């Protein structure tokens, strides 16, 4: 893999970590030590396919949870997203 694509992959991984609310939240979600996550983000440890697959799976779960939360809010408002309150 080219160095630039490794850097891009690491930058994207760091972005994904932030989507979870940072290193601590990501660490809890995936059950990985915070120090290890920082090492992956900093390039001290290589990103493996397993970690990336686990990250993608966790992102899909986060999407499902966020969608359910949004639907509950919309239902509690008794309306769709375009209704006036």
Closest listed residue to residue 14, CA positions, set 50, 47, 62: 47
Q: Evaluate whether 13 touches 41 at the Cβ level (below 8 Å).
A: yes
pTM above 0.85, yes or no: no
Q: How many residues does the chain have?
A: 85
Q: What is the DSSP string of 26-42?
A: HHHHHT--HHHHHHHHH
pLDDT digits (tens, 9 = 90+) for 19-69: 999 999 999 999 999 999 999 999 999 999 999 999 999 999 999 999 999
Alpha carbon distance 77, 83 (integer Å): 9
């Amino acid at each position: 893999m080219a160095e630039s694509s490794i850097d891009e992959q690491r930058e994207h991984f760091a972005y994904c970590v932030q989507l979870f609310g940072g290193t601590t939240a990501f660490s809890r979600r995936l059950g990985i030590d915070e120090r290890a996550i920082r090492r992956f983000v900093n390039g001290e440890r290589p990103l493996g396919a397993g970690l990336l697959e686990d990250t993608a799976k966790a992102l899909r779960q986060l999407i499902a949870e966020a969608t359910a939360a949004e639907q509950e809010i919309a239902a509690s408002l008794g309306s769709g997203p375009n209704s006036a309150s």
